[in-house]
Structure 1
Amino acid sequence: MKRMFAPHGLTLAALTLAVAPFAAPMMPAAAQAGQSDLSRVNAYIRAVTTMTADFAQTDRNGQTLTGRLTIKQPGKIRFQYQKGVPLLIVGDGKALTMIDYEVRQVQRWPIGNSPLGALIDPNKDLSKFGKVIQTGDPTVLSVQARDPRRPEYGTITMIFKRDAGSPAGLQLYGWVALDSQNNRTAVKLSNQRYGVPVADSAFRWTDPRPKGRSAGG
């Protein structure tokens, strides 16, 4: 699904900069600040043991889907879509699975092959494959992550609001992911909660395929 959004507090111009494939060369002081920001994002990802949030995905035609996001480190993620949308996306720590209950289809791929791997793998070091994208707003931090050795894994641009009360001083407001087929998915978050109890059963799912095995849930 192709999604676009304008995160709260960001202008469309700032978002355009956030998803630009190349940033302007940074001066030494800016480069040093960029490395500090990358370290802060690393600290955020490692500090978030669990998180829940509401999410909204809006495509370029103005269609919006909403739902509930659940994260549990390492590597577990669940996108539960709004009532009436027969889709579910689950990451179990090793792979991401997209289940379409309407057509009874299941697609599965390694988390490391997805742009989301940069967000839900606390062992990744963003200083090796991430860069800060200038937004023009000192309260907003935008970081683009792409493995140069594996361009087919796509790109993710994570957008944070500086917030002293959040893990590592950052609040994740959303991201824009671009896969190898140039399919863009944008997600905006709200009502973020950290450190909440999350059972492993939240990352199980029922296989809808005929004669398929059940994965729980």
Structure 2
Amino acid sequence: MRNNETTTPSGPAITRRCFVGIAALLLAAGPSLLAASPAAAQASSTAQRIADHFSSVKTMMGEFVQFGPRGEQTGGKFYISRPGKIRFNYEDPSPMRVISDGSTVVIGNRKMKTWDVYPLSKTPLKLLLGNRIDLQSNMVRGVKEEDDLITIVLGDRNMFGTSTITMMFDPKTYDLRQWTIRDAQGKDTSVMIFNVKTGVQLDPKVFAIPYSEIRR
């Protein structure tokens, strides 16, 4: 994300075959990373520099493809504003919306007219949306550097148990390629992003939670 726009020509054509590749990557990287202690996870200067660059990007928007624990695939557009704000607009026929206004995360189902409400501080999204990612902190479960990928696993057992968030970066361009949230049951939800624009002006209304609908 050094440049203000990143495009991935293959992005819109991502298929279930691509999910198999992602799953294989996670299985290869996940166990060794999660087994690392904070002391063993001392990040290199390169990894910290990438994390610093990512956390310095205050606003971001683009398209995403999400893969659920059973291989289900959805997509749409996303918006991020630090600290703490994110929105996912899912494409039809998905009825889902996800919004964080900086303190609360809501998951809405337009078809069922239901809302699930969570404190942002109790979800791994807090780590993704923070002002800074400190790779020397005890939240780091592991850092793995490869020629074409740097993988960082973050978690905080005191805040959200065994849930973790894994972020994957391009070591040459500093682009965030993907993040994966592993829940307390060990199930993974992965989000790949493409056609990303950074440093954009975002209307605060984008992250407004419709509390009037939730309270009905």
TM-score, normalised via structure 2 length: 0.77
Q: Is 1:140 aligned with 2:139? A: no
Q: Residue in 1 aligned with 2:29?
A: 18
Q: Which whole-Å CA distance do the structure 2 matches of 1:210 and 1:119 have between them?
A: 25
- 1:210 to 1:59, Cα distance in 2 relative to 1, 3 A: closer
Aligned residues: 199
Identity of aligned residues (%): 25
The 3-state SS of whatever aligns with 2:170 is strand
- 1:36 to 1:117, Cα distance in 2 relative to 1, 3 A: same
Q: Which moved more, 1:45-54 or 1:186-195?
A: 45-54
The 3-state SS of whatever aligns with 1:99 is strand
Q: Is 1:178 aligned with 2:182? A: yes
TM-score, normalised via structure 1 length: 0.77
Q: Which whole-Å CA distance do the structure 1 matches of 2:62 and 2:28 have between them?
A: 25
The 3-state SS of whatever aligns with 2:178 is strand
The 3-state SS of whatever aligns with 1:85 is coil
Q: How does 1:85-100 map to 2 (within 5 A)?
A: 85-100=94-109
Of 168, 172, 195 in structure 1, the residue corresponding to residue 199 of structure 2 is 195
RMSD: 3.1
Q: How does 1:28-47 map to 2 (within 5 A)?
A: 34-47=43-56
- 1:23 to 1:101, Cα distance in 2 relative to 1, 3 A: closer
Structure 2 unpaired stretches of 5+? 1-15
Q: Is 1:70 aligned with 2:74? A: no
- 1:119 to 1:31, Cα distance in 2 relative to 1, 3 A: closer
Q: State the 1:45 CA deviation.
A: 3.5
CA contact (8 A) 1:139 1:162 kept: yes
